[in-house]
Amino acid sequence: MNERHTRNRIYVSEEEQELVKNFPILLAGSGIGSVIAECALRFGFENITIIDGDLVEASNLNRQNYTEEDIDTNKVDAIAKRLLSINSKANIKCLDLFLTLENVSEHIKGHKAAINALDFSSPVPLIFDTTCQKLEIPVLHPYNIGWGSLVTVIAKDGLTLDTLTKPEEEFNEVNVVKYASSYLRFWGNPQQWIDGVVEKYIAEEEVLPPPQLSIASWSVASMCTHLLFNIATGKKFKQFPEFYLSKIIDDNL
């Protein structure tokens, strides 16, 4: 194991480290994706593609992996610079574009796992998932719920997120969060704070992007890196409609 990864010993074998290094991952969206990318790179994922057409805004700095200097520049250029400063030998491929129904397939090809951190304002994120399924690429969906984080994995032969949508309803992130909350309540682990947040968000006068905290960005990055390791090394992981939740709010108080 090279010097950089000596402290991964015991947890990660030499063979696993090599598998991880050569396992190409695709980050679709460099918002929460920017935090996941750094955690995964440090762990040892050295083949990373990131796609996003957005610019960095000041309001991203509360939770995304950007600096003041990056404001008004391309997200992918900024995150590429950061990742290469951490590991100059990594193979970081950054594409300054938005995925569309036309180009989604060509950009997914060649990767072995994907993270769908796209805005749910078009049908693209759902097409992204079904395209990955056809190509047998598992897709991680990370959600920032402020105090807690949620990750679910769409597997090649599993259910897709649009099964959460009622007829004639448009799919969005709030569906997933509501679903997670009702799932937890059903299984005897109610998270009332989630319902409270959803209620306040829906009641907002202006239609704004959902609020998000660094707390959930950091724990989502942790969970996604662990899941990518499990996928890369052929270990088990839960699939949608099951999901992973990480939070300390109300923990046995």
CB of 96 to its own copies, least distance (A): 22
> What is the largest distance, in Å, between two alpha-carbon atoms of the chain?
55
CB of 243 to its own copies, least distance (A): 10
Nearer Cβ to its own copies (108/223): 223
Cα–Cα distance measured from residue 16 to residue 252, given in angstroms and rounded to the nearest whole number: 36
Binding-site ranges for its own copies (CB under 8 A): 3-12, 35, 39-40, 42-44, 58-63, 67-69, 85-88, 146-147, 149, 197, 200-201, 204, 208-209, 211-219, 221-223, 225-227, 229, 236-238, 242, 244, 246, 248-249, 251-253
Nearer Cβ to its own copies (42/185): 42
Nearer Cβ to its own copies (9/109): 9
Nearer Cβ to its own copies (93/238): 238
For 108-112, the CB contacts below 8 A with 24+ separation are: 108/26, 108/132, 108/135, 108/137, 109/135, 110/24, 111/24, 111/25, 111/26, 111/49, 111/137, 112/23, 112/24, 112/25, 112/137, 112/231, 112/232
CB of 181 to its own copies, least distance (A): 15
CB of 95 to its own copies, least distance (A): 23
Closest CA to 18 of 44, 47, 48: 44
CB atoms within 10 A of CB 169: 10
CB of 249 to its own copies, least distance (A): 7
Nearer Cβ to its own copies (49/152): 152
